[in-house]
């Protein structure tokens, strides 16, 4: 977690453990998200469980939102911050549409999101963002962020509570790390299979991941959504 | 150097609470008393504006479950002052619109403030007389923004709210907590109820095959059973509660009721000092 926001300060008590005197505005609502870019498609997937501590608030609270026919955003972390940030993006995209008479490109949304996150550098949105979509050439694009806006374009990324379980698997199966001789580009069906396997496996070990898996497949014909069952325990 | 602040002297005696040793607000001496008395300028005594860092008078769990054609909610009538059962006839379910009920757990004064905010907003919308009114999802969004903005000011409203309603033929059940976390689900239970009642509500929904297979009468029975479990085990609860029903016909909030309980087993419990 953070140690930089105002309010984290704890005061040492001479006789017992430190007592927190200030309100902690953040909560980790868990959940896992993932995005993989292909040659002419992009897959964005996330589970739909919302947790608070050991309790499940709801089994279906979507983490991904379609922003346009070419762009999907997915966020995990503090759900209140994530939803606020999503609404800000949607608002700005609408203003952009009215001002310029065209829909924002994936690259433009990507840079805007970085700026929006950095604007709150000293009281950050606790949100792990992954932006998936198609670039101007129709190629799959994945942009990943940290909570203060550092971002990078990649081919594949997993974030959220089970990221440490899934990311090494993706490094091996998507980017072919440590098996360079097998390097090739994957088809959409292969990517979907790896995505589903990643989440069913993560659900076994991560208590914050489960209930449903919602997958957004972005191609030049638009965005297709599928909902798949995960274990509910 | 005299290190005791009360011996440093008072710049304006009316700005200082002589029984308070420290801290003394930093703007004392710089700002005239007449200015500090303007509403919104912190406190007239010159102390810093205080934030709710803990709830004082509190309400315990609020329950909600969807059934075929509507939503049923339950909350008891107790407002506790710590472990003291302070106020025993408090209504924690409030009708805010034709098809919307707000239920509150947590700090009662913060709840009364939010109730005032929403009621004022509803009056404002009514006065516009434009044929529109706020529906359940609109009130939910408003409530979420209020809660999120207060947590962002590090001055939260210490509640978990449950909003139940019916909108465009579909039932709505959502919750928002003091950190502005919103979520919707077929069943919701706040506070102690999230541990004791939510598993009961979820099991009922699951074994009956979802909210469309639960009748109004069954919803009442499920909530009464859950309230009984809470009364047995939640020490801040009371066996006097109300139910709220929201359907396409409108809202009905019941008179306070209670459930039959059986305490004979308590005789046989050993090992807790008895």
pLDDT, one tens digit per residue, over A44-103 is 999 999 999 999 999 999 999 999 999 999 999 999 999 999 999 999 999 999 999 999
Query: For the ranges A13-27, A73-87, A157-171, A175-189, which has the lowest average pLDDT?
Result: A13-27
pLDDT at B25: 45
For B168, the token pair is 């465009």
Q: CA of A57, closest CA in chain B: separation in Å? A: 7
Q: CA of B183, closest CA in chain A: separation in Å? A: 7
CA angle A59, A60, A66 (to 5 degrees): 155
Decide if B208 is inside a domain.
yes
- Chain-chain contact of A58 with B183 (C-beta, under 8 angstroms): yes
Question: Is B156 in contact with B52 (CB distance < 8 Å)?
Answer: yes
CA-nearest residue to B54 within chain A is A23
- State mean pLDDT over A15-24: 68
pLDDT at B244: 98
Residue A180 has pLDDT above 70, yes or no: yes
Identify which of B274, B199, B186, B209 has the alpha carbon closest to the alpha carbon of residue B229.
Answer: B199
Decide if B33 is inside a domain.
no
Q: Residue B221's domain is classified under what CATH number? A: 3.60.20.10
- State mean pLDDT over B257-267: 92
Decide if B41 is inside a domain.
no
- Chain-chain contact of A83 with B182 (C-beta, under 8 angstroms): yes
Range of the domain at B219: 57-253
pLDDT > 90 in chain B, percent: 77
Confidence at B250, pLDDT banded by 50, 70, 90 = very high
Decide if B148 is inside a domain.
yes
The distance in angstroms from the start CA to the end CA of chain A is: 26
Decide if B266 is inside a domain.
no
DSSP secondary structure of B126-151:
HHH-SS----HHHHHHHHHHHHHHHH
Decide if B118 is inside a domain.
yes
Q: Determine the topology of domain A32-230 in CATH.
A: 3.60.20
Percentages (nearest 5) of helix, strand, coil residues in chain A: 30, 30, 40
Decide if B104 is inside a domain.
yes
pLDDT at B10: 57
Q: Phi/psi class of residue A184: alpha, beta or left (left: φ > 0; alpha: ψ in -120 to 50)?
A: beta
Total domains present in chain B: 1
Instruction: Indicate the burial class of A28 (C-beta count within 10 angstroms; 0-12, 13-18, 19 or more).
Output: middle
- State mean pLDDT over B2-23: 60
CA-nearest residue to B155 within chain A is A23
Confidence at B41, pLDDT banded by 50, 70, 90 = very low
Residue of B6, B44, B45, B52 marked catalytic: B52
């Amino acid at each position: 977690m953070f140690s930089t926001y105002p309010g984290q300060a704890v005061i040492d008590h001479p006789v017992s453990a430190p007592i927190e005197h200030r309100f902690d505005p953040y909560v980790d609502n868990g959940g896992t998200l993932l995005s993989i870019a292909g040659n002419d498609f992009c897959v964005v997937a996330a589970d739909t469980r919302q947790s608070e501590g050991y309790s499940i608030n709801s089994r279906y609270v979507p983490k991904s939102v379609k922003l346009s026919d070419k762009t999907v955003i997915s966020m995990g972390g503090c759900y209140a911050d994530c939803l606020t940030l999503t609404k800000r993006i949607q608002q700005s995209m609408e203003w952009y549409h009215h001002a310029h008479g065209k829909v924002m490109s994936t690259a433009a949304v990507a840079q805007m999101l970085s700026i929006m996150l950095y604007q709150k550098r000293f009281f950050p949105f606790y949100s792990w963002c992954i932006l998936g979509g198609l670039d101007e050439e129709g190629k799959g694009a994945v942009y990943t962020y940290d909570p203060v806006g550092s971002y990078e374009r990649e081919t594949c990324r997993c974030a959220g509570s089970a990221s440490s379980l899934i990311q090494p698997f993706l490094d091996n199966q998507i980017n072919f790390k440590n098996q360079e001789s097998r390097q090739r580009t994957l088809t959409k069906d292969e990517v979907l299979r790896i995505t589903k396997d990643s989440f069913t496996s993560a659900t076994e070990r991560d208590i914050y991941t489960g209930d449903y898996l919602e997958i957004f497949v972005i191609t030049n014909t638009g965005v297709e959504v599928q909902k798949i069952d995960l274990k509910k325990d | 150097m005299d290190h005791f602040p009360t011996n440093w002297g008072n710049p304006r005696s009316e700005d200082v609470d002589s029984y308070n040793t420290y801290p003394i607000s930093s703007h004392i001496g710089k700002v005239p008393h007449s200015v500090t008395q303007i509403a919104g300028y912190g406190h007239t005594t010159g102390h810093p504006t205080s934030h709710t860092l803990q709830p004082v008078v509190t309400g315990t769990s609020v329950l909600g479950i969807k059934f075929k054609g509507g939503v049923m909610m339950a909350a008891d009538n107790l407002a506790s002052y710590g472990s003291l059962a302070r106020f025993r006839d408090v209504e924690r379910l409030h009708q805010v619109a034709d098809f919307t009920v707000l239920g509150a757990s947590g700090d009662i004064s913060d709840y009364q403030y939010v109730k005032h905010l929403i009621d004022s907003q509803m009056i404002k919308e009514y006065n516009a007389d434009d044929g529109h009114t706020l529906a359940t999802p609109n009130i939910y969004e408003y409530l979420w923004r209020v809660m999120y903005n207060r947590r962002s000011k590090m001055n939260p409203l210490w509640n978990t709210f449950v909003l139940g309603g019916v909108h465009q033929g579909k039932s709505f059940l959502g919750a928002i907590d003091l950190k502005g976390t919103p979520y919707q689900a077929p069943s919701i239970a706040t506070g102690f109820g999230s541990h004791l009642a939510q598993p009961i509500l979820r099991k009922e929904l699951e074994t009956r095959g979802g909210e469309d297979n639960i009748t109004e009468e069954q919803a009442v029975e499920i909530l009464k059973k859950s309230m009984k479990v809470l009364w047995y085990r939640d020490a801040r609860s009371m066996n006097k509660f109300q139910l709220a029903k929201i359907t396409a016909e409108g809202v009905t909030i019941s008179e306070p009721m209670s459930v039959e309980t059986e305490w004979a087993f308590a005789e046989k419990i050993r090992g807790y000092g008895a």
